[in-house]
Amino acid sequence: MSGPKHLGFDTLALHGGQQPDPLTGARAQPIYQSVSFVFNDTDEASSRFDIARSGYVYSRIGNPTVAVLEERLAMLEGGVGAVATASGMAAIHLAITTLAGAGDHIVASRALYGGTHNLLSYTLPRFGIETTFVDPRDPAAFAAAVRPETRLVFAETVANPRCEVLDIEAVAARAHDAGLPLVIDSTLTTPHLLRPLEHGADIVVHSLTKFIGGHGTTMGGAVVDGGRFDWLRWPERFTTLTQPYAGFHGLNFAEEFGPQAFIIRARREGLRDFGAALPATSAFGLLQGLETLSLRMARHVANARKLAEFLAAHEACSDVTHPALPDHPDHALAARLLPRGPGAVFSFEIKGGRAAGRKLIESLKLFSHLANVGDAKSLVIHPASTTHARMDDDALAEAGISPGLVRLSIGLEEPDDLIDDLSRALYRSQK
Amino acid sequence: MYFEVDGARTFAAGRITGGTDAPVVVLVHGAAMDHSIWVYHTRYFLHAGRDVIAVDLPAHGLSDGAPLASIEDMAAWLERCLDALGIARAAVAGHSMGALAALELAGRAGERVERLALLGCALPMAVAPPLLEQAAVDSPLARDMMVLWGHGTRALTGGNPVAGITMVNAALRLIERARPGLLHADLYACNAYVEGYAAAARVSARTRLICGSEDRMTPTASARELANVIPTCAVDVIGDCGHIMMSERPEQTHRLLVQALS
């Protein structure tokens, strides 16, 4: 039988988390550019500090403009709640440190954004958190790497730049069998293409800087809590949530907040103490992007597919790693998991290696040469001549980057114009 | 805290110190929910120095035991719960099914219940047949009916004063945690409760009915009829609010609840 329906994705992308401003009637979300908020009396003040009443205290912990973005993201992902952060890296850090501390361990996909890899490989070990990296295409490898001190499993929906697609259901099942939450970075797919919580993930992180903001203007990140993981089933493992916390007079987050335990702790400890809060002006900018997410993503995906097909047929190119192409190793998985398309970031190999890559980059006119993805404009980077220019070919190989690897982030331009631009640049690169 | 009632492990959020003259605040959740629906209110009364418990009924939340089959059974269990904790004087608030249990308790317990707050309460608390049917087979549709009919129109798009929390999904996740069959057992008990007016007439506690103006499950007009039967009863209607007022309008609910139980 049919019953009441939840509001649809595109409706929530426009309205989620927001009511017209009660004082002015402003339809657009106002920017509450205020650090702090007046208390009506001392009882209200002290009880808000003690998480005993709703309301705002200080914009590092919560801000009305930022809250609209948070609630909207949580609705779009199907989560119980969200916390916005200053960047995607801050979101990953917040998710991890809400669950793990010195002596703890993470199992992570080895196909990760470079910044995440740096955090897990070099920075978190200084604070006593170790990571084992595994092949994302081998769900059993995640289970095999689990140790008694493991606290979470981490992976990306579609990895950057080689587009390994994660079988979220299979990895979630392995994580749950081991009593662990699966934390998923869904930056490159956005909730328009994939909602990881519906496939068994427990926590989703985003760099909002990319497709959600969508215009290369605003940095931000978010952690979304699915609210389904039962922390109290393993009280000795998830002590940040299941044991009394002296920072709030013995508050036991899992007992008191139930399904909201993780996200409340993330806000009330992680934002409070690490302080990587999102400014209200940034939240406003990101909300503008979110309102048109579906329209933009559909165009991003369609353009990317045309460009990938063009490059796959070009004699100067090989190894086009776009999952929509039939020869991609994850083509079937992507078709099942990402029916709207696998995103708009992919890479290819240019014949002629490092020198050809350099020529290509310098010959492109519409593609912008920069270190970002997910802009409305098309972007390109050639790691061997930019971010990894100091490495010789052997060192590049160790880092998993070939001399001819070129990464594209396909924007919203006319696809034929992009093809013309690439066609000219590829011709010059082979001279 | 954990304690035993009828030999079963029982959970209640909150604290009993015995160090206050005020009656102990007792908060009772609704169908397929648990103590966490009262989290801000529990924490507030603790913060204010009151003794307070937000109890999980048997088979709910962190409490063991079997589901109670009727509202009368729930009221009797609550009395035994008060006995187990040595609570001689109580200020009781219940939401929805919990409000029926609180009403029945107040009708039985006489002056032991000094204050009564009934949130989202009406008589009869008839449950729509499609909801009962779907709950009987533990269908996800039953949970959707609970949360989508249970919230006012405004809550469906959000705007939660608790930053970052989605009201609808939070309620949905809570109900998803309920054991198989529990939602149906609770709804059946609500639907079958016919002694409410008799209990209401016996209530000696000063009572407050807190309603949501858009409550489709326990409409305000029905709540007012109930209020006319309770000897000392005031009615407050929270505007632009559905059935789950603790999360939909937490600050307004807070103020009314504090007034009701003080």
Confidence at residue A364, expressed as pLDDT on a 0 to 100 scale: 97
Instruction: Encode pLDDT of A339-374 as tens digits.
Output: 999 999 999 999 999 999 999 999 999 999 999 999
Confidence at residue A1, expressed as pLDDT on a 0 to 100 scale: 66
Q: String of b and e for A2-41 (b: at least 16 CB within 10 Å)?
A: ebeebbebeebbbbbbbeeeeeeeeeebbbbeeeebebee
Chain A residue whose CA is closest to B2: A255
Interface test with A, best of B160, B166, B179, B253 (most A CBs within 10 A): B166
pTM of the model: 0.97
Confidence at residue B20, expressed as pLDDT on a 0 to 100 scale: 87
Instruction: Encode pLDDT of B158-201 as tens digits.
Output: 999 999 999 999 999 999 999 999 999 999 999 999 999 999 99
Yes or no, beta carbons of A256 and B39 under 8 Å apart = yes
Does the beta carbon of B240 lie under 8 angstroms from any beta carbon of chain A? no
Q: What is the Cα–Cα distance from A207 to A217, expressed in whole angstroms?
A: 13
* Residue A274 structure tokens: 């690490």
Does the beta carbon of A306 lie under 8 angstroms from any beta carbon of chain B? no
Give yes or no for residue B156 having a pLDDT over 90: yes
Name the percent of chain B lying above pLDDT 90.
98
- Measuring CA to CA, which residue among A271, A269, A343 is closest to residue A305? A343
DSSP classification of residue B162: S
Chain B residue whose CA is closest to A232: B62
3-state secondary structure of B219: coil
- Measuring CA to CA, which residue among B219, B202, B210, B216 is closest to residue B237? B210
> Which of A16, A43, A55 is nearest residue B158 as measured by Cβ atoms?
A16
Q: At what angle do helices B182-192 and B140-150 cross, to 10 degrees?
A: 50
Q: Where in chain A is the domain with CATH 3.90.1150.10?
A: 293-429
Does the beta carbon of B145 lie under 8 angstroms from any beta carbon of chain A? yes
Instruction: Encode pLDDT of B20-34 as tens digits.
Output: 899 999 999 999 999
- The answer to whether the bond into A235 is cis (omega within 30° of 0) is no
- Measuring CA to CA, which residue among A11, A75, A21 is closest to residue A284? A21
Going by pLDDT thresholds of 50, 70 and 90, the confidence category of residue A160 is: confident
Does the beta carbon of A371 lie under 8 angstroms from any beta carbon of chain B? no
Instruction: Encode pLDDT of B49-69 as tens digits.
Output: 999 999 999 999 999 999 999
| Chain B contacts in chain A segment 53-82 (CB below 8 A) | 53-56, 61-64, 66-68, 70-72, 74-75, 78-82
- If one counts the domains in chain B, the total is 1
Q: Are B50 and B41 in contact (CB under 8 A)?
A: no
Going by pLDDT thresholds of 50, 70 and 90, the confidence category of residue A2 is: confident
Interface test with B, best of A256, A262, A286, A290 (most B CBs within 10 A): A256
Residues in chain A closer than 8 A to B145 (CB atoms): 3-4
**Which ipTM did the prediction report?**
0.97
Q: Which residue range(s) make up the domain with B137?
A: 2-261
The third-level CATH classification (topology) of the domain covering A9-289 is Aspartate Aminotransferase; domain 2 (3.40.640)
Point out the least confidently predicted range of A159-168, A250-259, B77-86: A159-168
Confidence at residue A25, expressed as pLDDT on a 0 to 100 scale: 94
Q: Are A98 and A81 in contact (CB under 8 A)?
A: no
Name the percent of chain B lying above pLDDT 70.
100
Residues in chain B: 262
Point out the least confidently predicted range of A108-117, A203-212, A285-294, B77-86: A108-117
Q: What is the Cα–Cα distance from A382 to A316, expressed in whole angstroms?
A: 15
Confidence at residue A389, expressed as pLDDT on a 0 to 100 scale: 74
- Measuring CA to CA, which residue among B61, B64, B62, B101 is closest to residue B82? B101
Which residues are CB-neighbours of A113 under 8 A, at least 6 positions away? A156, A159, A160, A185, A187
* Tally of CA atoms within 13 A in the half-sphere of A174 that contains its CB: 23
The DSSP bridge pattern shows strands A405-409 and A379-381 to be: antiparallel
Going by pLDDT thresholds of 50, 70 and 90, the confidence category of residue A161 is: confident
Q: Which CATH superfamily is domain A293-429 in?
A: Aspartate Aminotransferase, domain 1 (3.90.1150.10)
DSSP classification of residue B165: B
Going by pLDDT thresholds of 50, 70 and 90, the confidence category of residue A410 is: very high
* Residue A372 structure tokens: 């970002």
Q: Are A256 and B43 in contact (CB under 8 A)?
A: yes
Going by pLDDT thresholds of 50, 70 and 90, the confidence category of residue A401 is: confident
Q: Which helix (H) or strand (E) segment is B245 a member of?
A: helix B245-248
Give yes or no for residue B19 having a pLDDT over 70: yes
Q: What is the Cα–Cα distance from A119 to A194, expressed in whole angstroms?
A: 25
Q: Are B123 and B226 in contact (CB under 8 A)?
A: yes
A55: left (phi over 0), alpha (psi -120 to 50) or beta: left
Count of other CB atoms within 10 angstroms of residue B128 = 14
Going by pLDDT thresholds of 50, 70 and 90, the confidence category of residue A394 is: confident
Which residue's entry shows tokens 């009511």? A19
Distance of CA B123 to the CA centre of its chain: 14
Does the beta carbon of A114 lie under 8 angstroms from any beta carbon of chain B? no
| Mean of the per-residue pLDDT values of chain A | 95
Give yes or no for residue A289 having a pLDDT over 90: yes
